A and B are shown apart, each in its own frame.
Chain A
Amino acid sequence: MSPYVRPVSNTWWLQRRPYTLFIVREITSVFVAGYCAFLLYLLYRLGQGAEGYAVALEVMRSPLSVALHVMALLFVLYHTVTWFNLTPKVMVVRVGEERLSPFLIAAGVYASWIVLSVFIAWLIFAG
C-alpha cells in the first residue's frame, strides 16, 4: 500500500487564470531580453558610422520590424506594470510605528517611471 503520487500535466498553467497570467509575465522576459539584443545591434551599426546606421534604419522601417516593435512594446509594458504592482509587496517601509501604504509605494515607482520617461524624451527631442 503506497501513497499515490498524482502526475502534473504540462498544461497546468492553462487550468487557472492566475497561473496563465504568471506564465505570460515570465514569457515577457524573452521580449525584454530580445529588445536588449536589438539595442546592441543598433549600437554596433552606429559604430560603423553613418552608412551602417542607415542600414539599421532601413531594417527598422520594414513591416516585420514595425510589427515586432509593437509586439515587444506590449509585452514590455505588461512586464513593467506587473512587476511595478508587485513592488509594494516586497518593500515594507515603516515610518515610525506605521507601515507606509502599499499604494504610496506603487505611486512612487509609477511617478519615477513617468519622470524618467519624460527626461529621456526631452534628451531625444530637445537635443
Chain B
Amino acid sequence: MREETVQLEIFRYRPEEDAEPTYDRYEVPFRRDWVILDAMNYIKDEIDGTLAYRWSCRMGVCGSCGMMVNGVPKLTCATFLKEYYPRPIRVEPLAGFPVERDLIIVMDDFMAKLQSVTPWIVRREGEEKPVEEGEYLQTPAQLMAYKQYSMCINCLLCYAACPVYVADNSFVGPAALALAQRYDLDSRDQGHALRQPVVGSHEGVWECTFVGECSAVCPKNVDPAGAIQRAKVTSTMEYFKDTLMPWGRRA
C-alpha cells in the first residue's frame, strides 16, 4: 500500500541569495502521532538540510518553536498534522517580526520590551530582608493573584496574533504587559512605580484595542488580554486618585 503523505509549504528566506522570500513544497509521510515539528525535523534530516528553524524541548515548555501554521500562530511541537490532513499545511515565521532566515525571526524588539517592564521582584531601598531572615512567605491566595500570568514561556505567539503589534510595533505588547501585571500583583513586590510609566503610557496598555486574539492563541492560558484590561482599570483609578486627591499622591 502506498504511504500516506502530507504537503508542507514552507516559507524560505536566504538573505545571501534571496531579495524576496519564496515558498518551498515538501512531501512528508503522514503519521497520526506526528506534530508539525516532527515533519520539519523529517525534512531537515531526510530532504533538505538547509531549512532553518528554532526548536528545543518538543513539549511546550521552552517556547522556541512558535510559527504561523496556515496563518495562525502555533507552537509547532503541540500542533498535530492530523488537525490539517489531508489539506496542505503552510508554515511561516511568526507574523510581526523581521525574518533572519527561513522560519527564524529577529526577537530583539521583544527582548527590549520585556526588559522595559522590570520583570523581576523589586524591593524598596532598605526594605530587602537579609538572606538569613529567610524567604518572603505568601498565602495560597497571594500566589493565586498572579500565578496565571507567571506561566508565560515567551513564545511570542501573542505578539504574532496581535494586529496592533503587527501593524505598528511601537506597542509594548501582550506578553510584556502580562508580565508587568505578574509582578505588580505579587505581594512580595514593591516595583509598581517603576513599571507604571511604561505600562500606563500610550505605547503600553492604551495601544491595546482588545482584539483578544493574544489570549486565544496562548498555549499556557496566560490571558494577556485580561491582564492588559485590568492594568487599564488600575491606570485609570490611579489617574483619578492623583487628580482628585493630589495630597494623597503616592511616593
Contact = CB atoms under 8 A, between A and B. Distances in A.
A18 B21 CA distance: 27
Contacts of B212: 18, 22, 86, 89
Name, among B13, B141, B163, B166, the residue most crowded by chain A CB atoms within 10 Å (CB to CB). B163
B213 interface: yes
A22 B72 CA distance: 16
B99 A6 contact: yes
B211 interface: yes
Q: What is the size category of the interface that chain A forms with chain B? A: 20 to 34
A18 B15 contact: no
Given A5-B99, A90-B226, 5 more contacts: A4-B99, A15-B71, A86-B210, A92-B226, A96-B141
A16 B73 CA distance: 12
B163 A13 contact: yes
Given A18-B211, A18-B213, A89 B163 contact: no
A3 B99 contact: yes
B194 interface: no
Contacts of A58: none
Nearest to B72: A16
B237 to A, nearest CB: 13
B29 interface: no
A3 B209 contact: no
Contacts of A90: 226, 229-230, 232-233
Nearest to A92: B230
Contact of A3 (B100, B213, B225): B100
A8 interface: yes
Interface in B183-234: 209-213, 215-216, 223, 225-226, 229-230, 232-233
A12 B163 contact: yes
Contacts of B15: 1-4
Interface of A: 1-6, 8, 12-13, 15-16, 18-19, 22, 26, 86, 89-90, 92, 94, 96-97, 99
B13 A4 contact: yes
Contact of A89 (B13, B95, B144, B223): B223
Name, among B106, B144, B226, the residue most crowded by chain A CB atoms within 10 Å (CB to CB). B226
5 contacts: A2-B15, A3-B100, A13-B163, A89-B229, A97-B140
Nearest to B167: A8
B211 A22 contact: yes
Contacts of A99: 144
Given A6-B99, A8-B166, A16 B225 contact: no
Contacts of B225: 89
